Amino acid sequence: MLFFKYKIRSVIFLLFIFTHASFCFGQMDLPASNMYLLNVSFEKDSLVVNDLKLMTAFNIDGYNNQPHFVNNDEVYFVSNASDPLHTNIFVANLSSLELRRLTSTKQSSLFSPYIANDQSAVYSVRAYDDGGQYLTVMHFDKPSAPTVLLDHLDNIGYFLPLDGDGFIVFKVGDPHELWQYELGNNSSTGLAINIGRCFKHYMDNKILFTQTLSNGSVVLKSLDLNSRKSEILGNMPKGSVDFAIGHGGMIYCASGSEILKLNQTDRLLNKWSVVCNMSRFGLNNLTRIEWNPDGNKLIVVQDEVAN
């Protein structure tokens, strides 16, 4: 399989080779964003970038976002590369440099791809042009249009699968709400309000999420799904709404050009420390970040703001 690398402005561009594996089944103003792959190591408290590549040169002026590592080499994400008005799910193999478009939607966009624990299916949010955002699932052994789950909810913004048939769901509203749904017994439980778009699995049956307090500050919280006890871990850095959990349970986020790590040894300090500044690579508007399981690869999303 052929691939090419070339240097432009000190950044290596990766040209993935397309292989079409569309499971045929799909308006919105999508901001330009690109994904960069970092091969990293650590020296004391610093993150060292050993190699940096632009993953999305094939759609450099488009929307490329919401990366999700399935393993150390396979990444699911959404892009409007095949249709400027709609997003589809793409899969990139970082070893073979193969890129597949997994879906081809009509009159709708797919967001937030997440692979089932047994890797038999991919979940996503399907947003229709005429309104409504639904949680869907597409089984790999039955490639077809994604099937709607929780069809009574048409305002799902984000979600997180749980063990079994449960989901944590972000319900779009005023305020935004965080809920837990169990498909098996058709139960639901409200967990929090005024929450942010990012929430993640954590250790010991916990989830992490962000919440805006009455004073306007945004905090990072943990919630035990068994006891329902929550704990504030720290304030989020200014302008940061996303976070990621790295190797060993370390918590990271991005703000501007900086990648930061939460000091978890003394949480009363609410202190984030800068581990890497990406401004030397021309990356000054970082949003989402995503670690691979081994903690040696990091994907950062740069919002491309027009000058």
What is the C-alpha to C-alpha distance for residues 63 and 259, in angstroms, rounded to an integer? 22
Predicted local distance difference test score (pLDDT) of residue 34: 98
The one-character DSSP state at 307 is: -
Structure tokens at 91: 């899969």
137: β partners? 123, 147
Amino acid at 278: M
Mapped onto helix, strand or coil, the DSSP state of residue 249 is helix
Q: Which residues, 6 or more positions from 301, have their beta carbon under 8 angstroms from its beta carbon?
A: 33, 34, 35, 36, 64, 65, 66, 67, 286, 287, 288, 289
Plot region of 231 (φ>0 → left; ψ -120 to 50 → alpha; else → beta): beta
Q: Reduced to 3 states, what is the DSSP secondary structure of residue 245? A: strand
Domain range annotation of the chain: 7-154+236-303
Identify the pLDDT of residue 106.
81
pTM of the complete model: 0.89
- The span from the CA of 11 to the CA of 185, in Å, is 51
pLDDT one digit per residue (tens) for the chain, 307 residues: 223 232 223 345 565 554 444 333 334 578 999 999 999 999 988 999 999 999 999 999 999 999 999 999 999 999 999 999 999 999 999 999 999 999 988 889 999 999 998 889 999 999 999 889 999 999 988 767 789 999 999 999 999 999 889 999 999 999 999 999 999 888 999 999 999 999 999 988 999 999 999 999 999 999 999 999 999 999 999 889 999 999 889 999 999 999 999 987 765 556 899 999 999 999 999 999 999 999 999 999 999 975 4
The rounded distance, in Å, linking the Cα atoms of 103 and 113 is: 11
Q: Helix or strand or coil: residue 5?
A: strand
